[in-house]
Structure formats: C-alpha cells, structure tokens
Structure 1
Amino acid sequence: MLWEKAVIGSILGFAATSAAKIVGMEEVPLIGPAFLTNFDPSNSTSIRNAKSKFPGLIDNLFESGELNKTDLAFSIDVFSAATNASIYHYSHIGENSKKTLTQGKFDDQTIGRIGSVTKLFAVYAIIAKSGIEIFSDPVTKYLPELARNSSGDSLRRIRWDDITVGALASQQAGTGGALDLLTYFRDKKSPVIAPWRNAVYSDGGFAILGQVLARISGKTFTEAIQEILLDPLGMENTSTKVPTGSDLNALNRSVIDPKSSWGGDYEILAATGSMYANGADLRTAGLAILNSEILSAATTSEWMKPRSGTGSLVELVGAPWEISRLTIPVTPGSNRTRISDVYIKSGGNVDYTAIFGLSPDHGIGFSILLGGSTATPARWPLRDVVGETFIPAAEFAGVENAKHNLAGVFVDKSSPGTNLTLTVDRGRPGLGVKSLWINGTSGITSQHERLYPAGLSSVSSSLSSLYKTKGAMSIAHRMAAPEVPVKPRAAADGGQGGLFDHSFTWMTIDFAGADDELILNLVDGRLVSVEYPLTGSVFQRAH
C-alpha cells in the first residue's frame, strides 16, 4: 500500500511540482536505463495508475483552456517494446470535428497528417539505404549541381561543398526554410547561419535530403520511402500522397475547411512534411527502431544520439531527433532525479499536427495525432502530459520489477565467505551493491556502489534483447560510484554546487580492469544467479 501511494503521488504530482522540488543526484549514474527493461511494464502498479489517472489530466487541460475541447480531435497511443503492442490508447473527438472522421471514430487505424515527422522517415530511409557513413559525405557528392550556387561571398551563397549529409540531417547546415530555397535554388539562396555553428530548424535542408534519397535510390522520394521502409515494415496506411478509398478511415478536415492542408502534396517538399499515417503504423515504426529491425543495433544506437546542443540545457538535437533531456524521480515518492533522454519528432501541417516519441531507457514510445484549427499549439501540452505521465511511470515500473525480481541475497556455496547482496533503495538509481564478499574479504570500497546495465546480452546483439521477457539470458552490468566524499551537483542541475559539476563517474568504468563487472543471469525475467568474472565466483540466489 505504501508503494502504491508513493507511485500515485509521484505520477500525479510530477508535472506540477517537479520544477520546484527536484534535487540533482550527487552520485551521477551513467546515461541510459537505471534498471533492466526485460519485463512487461503493462501490469505494473505505476503503469496501471498512470492509465487510470490520465483521462483526468486531459480534462484538466480542457478546463484550463490549454486544449479546445470542441475543436480538437486527437488520438494518443503508448506502446511497449517488451510487449510489441499498445499498452494504452486515448482519443477525443470534439463536436466541431465529428464530420471530419470518415468512419466516425478516431482510433489507431485513423489516418492523419504527420507533418515534419516525415523528416524522421527521410533520414531513416537514407541510413537504411546507404548506411550511417553517408552522414560524412558532402551533399555535392550526390547533388553536384548545388556547387553552382557556391561563390566567394560567404554572406550571400551557401558553400555546398562544406555541407555534409549529416549537417542537413541534424539541422546544422544553415539552409533555413524551404520557400526561398526552392524559389532561388541556383543562384540566390543565402545561408541562415554558418555550417555546424548551431542547430537551426531547416525545412529547406530536408527538401535537399529528399533529393539525396532520390539520387541514391534511383527513384522518387515517394517511391524510395515505399520500397525501403513502408513495404518491409508493413506500414500499409502510411503514404506521401493523400489516401483515398470508399472504406478510408481518416481525419479529413477538407470537408469542413476549404483551406485545410489535407491533400496539399508537393513532391519537391515530400521529405520535409508530406506524410500521412495512423497510430498503428507509427507504433510499428517505433517498435522497429527500438528493436533495431531495419538497422543494426550499432547503427540504431549511433543514430539515436545527440548531435548538437541548443540554448537550453535540456533540449538537444539529433538527426533529426528533438531530444528532451528529462529529470525524472529515481524512485516513487523521491524528489531526487536522474537524467533520461527522450527522442521526439514533432510535426505540423497547420490544421494537422503530430508528436512521435521514443524512450529507449524504458522501451516505450508514443504517438499523438491531432486535427483542428487549434492543432498547432495543442500538440505541446499533449506531448507534456503524455511524457510526464508515462515516462516516470515506466521508470517506476523498472524500480518495481527490480524490487521483485532482481534484488536479493546471492551465495557462492563452493567458497565460504563469498556472497553478494543487491538492493533497491529509495532515492537512488540502479541496483545497490550492499555487500560483495570474496572469501571473507569485502570486494567493494564504497556504500555508494550502484549497478547499471551495460547493454550487453548473451541472447542477441539486436536491441530487441534489451526488452526480451522470456527465456534464459545473461546481461552484463557495471558497478559505478562517485569519488567519496561526494560533492554536490552544479546549481544548474538542481544541486547546491556552483557553475561546474563534478560528475566523473563515466571516467571510472573499467579503469582498473574488470573488478566492476557483474553478469546477471535471468530466467523469464527473474535473477537466479550472478557471476563475478574477476574471481570466477558464481552467486546463486539464496532469497
């Protein structure tokens, strides 16, 4: 009961109170999951309570006026890589939007426009076709005609020889908007900012990337996306052209608004914001990324990394991910936080908007499809309420699973005085190494030792192994601890320190060899034994 109350309080209070109460952890963990994700989160206390309370949180947004109840139609889908299925769905149809739904409902089969989420698929297809190595190539390798736009006047001409495919994909080419690029393509397009100086959102850059995909595939952008991604993944309800058919399940706003963007399709702009999709197909794409189905695990992990900062400490830029660096409570009821990166791509076609998000730390993702005259501002409070509800809930589900299936006492019966105690501790991330004894001698030097997954599994190199819930598997972990005494975090991180942080944990892993490595052996998600490779000890679960 105390656990459940803490979970409910954390979920309900996180959005409203976290900014005022967060405390940066002194013992900084590695970026990445704090606990194993090899379990089904859908039946956890935290996810059940998140689902129960979510409709009330939406009602609060209606009552506050942040969302227009009569105008908007929206559909939310939350999915899990552990179940490869949706774990929650919520939809709303405003009175003014009822006529726009061709089947009278907004479910995960209903097609809407996804705007700039298209950019994500453009980059996904380029990597799938040519490998992530293409990011280092100058764009003129594929579009040599762009070189004609170069000159000695760096203020008036983009020097395309300096622009790589990766610069375009990560919004760092300085190419700016699409309109003047297309109007004055050959000789008048001015740079917005110097290449690689900053990330500046660029529809124009993605129009160029669409042409790169066309050149490397020998097809149009539309044909290439279909062949490289949509067909292999079975995304039958996703397209770059307006869908049609008598049995179409879609949100078609053109029936009530002649200025609607529905059907406004231009091949030259296809890569920057043309696509139509439904929640089911976005879920398919999200699970394919989390499980590294199209790309290798190494390529997927490289792709899902920051490539630029912004003027915010918590907003980073990928290719073309919009990465939100969240500070989330490490355990239910705690105000101590750790960092977790959520990979998002937002999109908008004026009266249609969309949010697509993935949390690799937790193996969950979500999509939000909206339609309405107020759809553009509405996507942000919906992104916030979905993320602030389900991501902490997924974190707490990991804590709950660790408490039930990972923590315990483990003994090497072949060696007297050789045992290991793993704990889950309030306000601290990762498994605690309470004690590690080898032949009567302690193997740890600090009570701050925490154990974190290393992302290495005996089952497969695929990222899907990170979310595998059944069978036997061995998963590498590393012990990490800050230097003692632990100094306070920087003020910007919620701590009591100054401008600089003293977060050196990442420098210490394997510094003295494999004395910080433990291998956790699981059967159907439960930890049955632990190996300590340094000494060859094997600890069997005692209780």
Structure 2
Amino acid sequence: MSSPTLAQNNDIPYSACPLIGSYYPPPTFSRSSAMFAKLSSDFTTTFNQLIEKGGSDKYGPITPSTTSFSVVMFTGTDSRKEDPVFFEYHYTSPRDLSDTGTNITSDTKFPVGDLTMIFTVYAWLVEMGETWDAPITQYLPELGNASNPNGVSWSEVTIGSLAGHMSGLIRQVFAEKLAADPFVFHPDTTPMVSYTAFQLLAFAMQRHKGADTYSAVLHEAVLGPLNMTTSGLLNSDMKDIFAPRSLNLTQHGEPGAISLVSTTIDLSRAGHAILSSRLLPPFVTRRWLRHSVDTSNLRNGVGRPWEIYRAGRSAIAPVVDVWTKSGSLGAHYASYFGLAPDFDVGFAILAHDGANGGSALDLNVYADIVSEALGGLQGIAAAETAARYAGTYRGGNDSVAVLHVTEDGPGIAVQELRVDGVDVRAQAARQLGIATVADLDFRLYPAIVGENSLRHEFVAVFQDRSAPVDMGTPTCITWQHIGSTAGVEYRYAFSLTDGEVALKFEAATGSFRLHKLI
C-alpha cells in the first residue's frame, strides 16, 4: 500500500544500516598523532573562546566570572593504564580564585554528588557479583518486617531494580519513613531516582563484608585497587575540598548515593579501569555497559546506574551510546562523567560556582563540547580504518578485492571482490534477491578487534540500496540477517603480520588469502 507521504519519503538519500556499536575499530591514542594534536588544539580553542565571550551562540551561555571547572578526556587503552588522560582543561573563575587563592588542577577535590552511585554499583559488582535478580531481603532480611500490608512487599525489590533506578522508592527517605510506605510505583515499572536505593546497597555490602563503615568497603573494593588516592567519602575531617565554605558538611547525604569526593585524575583512573575491565571480567563489563530501560525521550535510556545518551544526527544515522552520570551537591557543585565504549574513551567534568544562591549549576554547555570531541574521535577512527584496511588486495588465479571507507556510511565498503575469476559481489546479490549488483551495499564491520591482536575479525552486512524507506526511516533490521543466507560468506578477517595486511575469508570454492598492495 502506498501513499503520497511514502512516495515522497522514497527520495530520502540511502543510509547504511550498521550493527549498533560496531562502526569502526576504536582509534589508537598517541600524543604524537597529528590528528589528536589538532583535536586537542581545537578543544582548547573552543574553551578559551567560551570563557572569553561568556558562552557562544552554538553552545549557549556560561558564567566564567563565577564558575570554575575541570575537564578531562581519557582512554581505556591497555597501553595507557598509567597515563589515560589525552586532553585536559582547567579554569578557575575570578570569584573562586579570590575566595580560595587556589587554581584548579586535575588533583583538585570536588564533591561529585550523584556520581557516587557509579562507584556503589561498581563496588557491588566487584564484591558481590552480578546478583541482579536477588531480592534485597536476602541481604537485609529485616526489611521484610517493614513491608506495608497495603503497599509493596520488599521481597519484590531486587538488587538490579535498586541499582537501575527501578525500585519504585521515593527519592529521599530513610529510617524514619522506611517502615511506612516509601514506594511510589511497583518495582520495575518506570525509572525514578532514589538515594535510598543506593544506601540500601551500601548497607547490604557493609553487612556482607562485616565492615564498620561503607567507606571501608568502597576503599577495599574500588578506590584502593585503582590508586584513587585523592578520593573518599565526604566527612567533616576533609580540609582540602575546593571552596568548602559553600558546602554544608552537616548535610552530606547518604554515603552510597551522593557522598563521594574525587578529582578528574581519579575519575579518569576509574573510567580507564571500567573500559579496560581491570577489576571485572570483560564479559561482566560488557553486560554492565548495556541498555536496561527507556525513558519517555528516545534519546535517553537508563542503566545501572547510568544515564544513557543516544547520540546521532538523525533517525537514519548510526547512533553512539554514551554511558553517563550527572551529579550535583547543593547549588554550587556539579559533576558529569561519561564512557563511550565504541571509541574506548570517556570524560569527566567537575565544576563549582562561587555565586551566592541561584539555581543549580548546569554543565550542559561543557558536556556538549565534549560530545563534539567524541564526533572528532569518530573521524579519527574512520581515517585510521582507511589507512589500515582500505586498498587493493590481490591473490592468485584472478583474485582481487578493493576496499574503501566511504562518506555514505561507516565500516569498510567492499567495492570489488573476485575469487578465482568469480564475482563474489554479483553472486551475493543473486543469493540475496537483490536486482542488480549496483544496488548491493556490501560492508565489513568490526566484530572482534583486540588492541594487541594480529587477527582482526569483521562481519559482512548486505543491504539493498533500492529498498524503499518506511515512513521516513529505512527499516534497519540488518541484525536479523547476519549469516542467514546459505552460500553467502559473512565472516572476514584481516591478518596483520610481518608488516603486511592480508584479507582472509571462506568462499564456496575454498579458503582464500588476499594480500594488500602497498
């Protein structure tokens, strides 16, 4: 059935439909790289201009007279374990400099508010494992006696729902109201932030470990092993927090939810450790950095305890998931932390505003600039992919492959592939029911590409360029068809040995290895 709307939408340019999160291998990180040097220079210039002008038409206004901030970007690359930061920018406002006499650096301590939740969940995974389906009453059985007979039973509240903002608990209540009815929704109904949820996780770990304080648990599980020497839970003995006169130390909140004090250098150490799976098995990290539930905005999802931002230029553009957590404490402190596993990078932003009163400090402008830098990393990844894999490959018996990185989609486009004189592209088009070989979009996307591996595995995705769009959005279901057609090879591997690159794959007539021409 057709309509004028559908006919009009058929004029939308073709867009490749890659497998989500599998666009290019992550970029390599080198301070000597010209591309990284330019990215860093552009980043610095943007922040300099933002401060000079008090904002910009593109990003919006900021208040450089009163707002100080520290920004770092870091990588999870194994080789950068001791030095994960590849960009940093620090600015101290005139107000804060006058009040504190201190310039901000990557070692400056800030209360990070809600970012504490990340470390509570991290500590849980390290100490307790993936017990997402276990009820909290398994660890704190006395909660079973606090259930309201007319409300929700605590046995319905799981560790996963507490860690993933799905417990149904109201935002801030504790002992005095816990025995009443703290639930707004049934568990696992809709996401809603609750500080109580994370304090319950902290209590459960503390009891399990037999520790006197949650601070001891957190140090043993995460802060100590990651050498986060400038981090700890907020207390009245801390004397070196930036601008502590704007912080009410008697109202520091629940330790498991909002009480962490840290620095951008320590947050970069934590981010590197998560991305590189230093404290957790890689398969646990992969499951942790996965989407759990949606919000009413399709750009934003929820994890444990992540706020997931789905970046993409349009509905038909490849999306990049950024695993973030924002935080604040009072009206003066704000924080933002994020991981982009597709690029093996992350960022941390800590800020303080010295103005008296006013609304909570908003870090969206700073985060938008970081998001733009992530876009720059995608360009670097594409350029490195082209340099490493693209080109002409030849083998014996009239065998040739021509690979390119193109502007109309990510991955590696297979523009020619002939084995023993047989046109593999034409053969695939026939097998897939695509009318002409010109309509076949044949791309390779990274599947398993290890940093130190000499074998880089890719998977083929085939699309029909002539297929009609569906109400403005091409139906992106390539994930359903990988390996589904007999006689069409979907697995390809690049072998990087002895200074050469070879393309290896299976075909109907046997196994083939084509060598890249230098």
Scaled by the length of structure 2, the TM-score of the pair is: 0.86
Equivalent in the alignment of 2:512: 537
CA displacement, residues 452-478 of structure 1 (integer Å, 9 cap, x when unaligned): 111x25xxxxxxx3xx2xx55112110
* Map of 2:40 onto structure 1: 51
Give me the whole-angstrom Cα distance separating, in 2, the residues matched to 1:99 and 1:131.
Answer: 47
- Superposition deviation, residue 81 in structure 1: 2.5
Change (3 A) 1:276 1:25: farther
CA distance in structure 1 between the partners assigned to 2:207 and 2:500 by the alignment:
50
The equivalent of 2:480 in structure 1 is 507
Local SS of the residue matching 2:294: coil
Alignment partner of 1:216 is 2:208: yes
- CA 1:328–1:170 in 2, change beyond 3 Å: closer, same or farther? same
Match of 2:168 in 1: 174
* Match among 516, 524, 527 for residue 490 of structure 2: 516
- What letter corresponds to residue 509 of structure 1 in structure 2? I
8 Å Cα contact 1:35-1:398 kept in structure 2:
yes
Distance of 1:384 and 1:366 partners within structure 2: 12
1-side partners of 2:99 and 2:500: how far apart? 51
**Greater Rg, structure 1 or structure 2?**
2
Whole-angstrom CA distance in 2 between matches of 1:376 and 1:522: 52
Q: Deviations over 1:206-253 (max 9, x none)?
A: 12121122123222321111001111111111101348688x5x4133
User: What does residue 379 of structure 1 align with?
Assistant: 363
Out of 132, 137, 140, which is 1:135 matched to? Answer: 132
Partner of 2:7: none
* Residue aligning to 1:93: 92
Cα distance in 2 between the residues matched to 1:165 and 1:542: 55
Match of 2:310 in 1: 325
Quote the Cα distance in structure 2 between the aligned partners of 1:204 and 1:527. Answer: 57
Question: Quick check: 508-517 or 114-123, which moved more?
Answer: 508-517
> Among residues 220, 225, 235, which one is paired with 2:218 in the alignment?
225
* 1:164 equivalenced with 2:163 (yes/no): no
Structure 1 residues 96-135: aligned runs within 5 Å = 96-99=95-98, 101=100, 104-132=102-130, 134-135=131-132
Question: What are the equivalent positions in structure 2 for 1:394-433 lying under 5 Å apart?
Answer: 394-412=377-395, 415-433=396-414
Find the aligned partners of 1:182 and 1:299 in 2 and give their Cα distance: 33
Task: Look up the match of 2:3.
Answer: none
In structure 2, distance between residues paired with 1:243 and 1:26: 56
Classify the secondary structure of the residue corresponding to 1:276. Answer: strand
Asked if the contact 1:409–1:420 (Cα under 8 Å) also holds between the matched residues in 2, the reply is yes
Shift of the 46–349 alpha-carbon distance from structure 1 to 2, 3 Å rule, reads same
Amino-acid identity (%): 22
5+ residue gaps in structure 2? 1-11, 430-439
- Give the Cα–Cα distance (whole angstroms) in 2 for the partners of residues 354 and 342 of structure 1: 16
**Alignment length, in residue pairs?**
477
Q: Structure 1: any 5+ residue segments left out of the alignment?
A: 1-22, 330-334, 458-464, 491-495
**SS of residue paired to 2:309:** strand
User: Is the alpha carbon distance of 1:149 and 1:262 closer, same or farther for their aligned partners in structure 2, counting shifts above 3 Å?
Assistant: closer
Query: Which stretch of the first structure deviates more once superposed, 368-377 or 107-116?
Result: 368-377
Using the alignment, how far apart are the partners of 2:415 and 2:168 within structure 1? 52
Equivalent position amino acid for 1:517 in 2: R
Amino acid at match of 2:71: I
1:135 is paired with a residue of what secondary structure?
coil
Separation in structure 1 between the aligned mates of residue 359 and residue 110 of structure 2, nearest angstrom: 12
When residues 205 and 359 of structure 1 are mapped into structure 2, their CA distance, relative to the original with a 3 A threshold, is same
Map 1:224-373 to 2 at 5 A. 224-242=217-235, 248=240, 250-254=241-245, 257=246, 260-261=247-248, 264-265=251-252, 269-328=254-313, 337-350=317-330, 351-372=332-353, 373=355
- Secondary structure of the residue aligned to 2:312 is strand
Distance 1:100 1:287, change over 3 A: farther
Q: 1:536 deviation in Å?
A: 1.8
TM-score between both structures, scaled by the size of structure 1: 0.82
* Partner Cα distance (2:99, 2:282) in 1: 41
Q: Which has the higher helix share?
A: 1
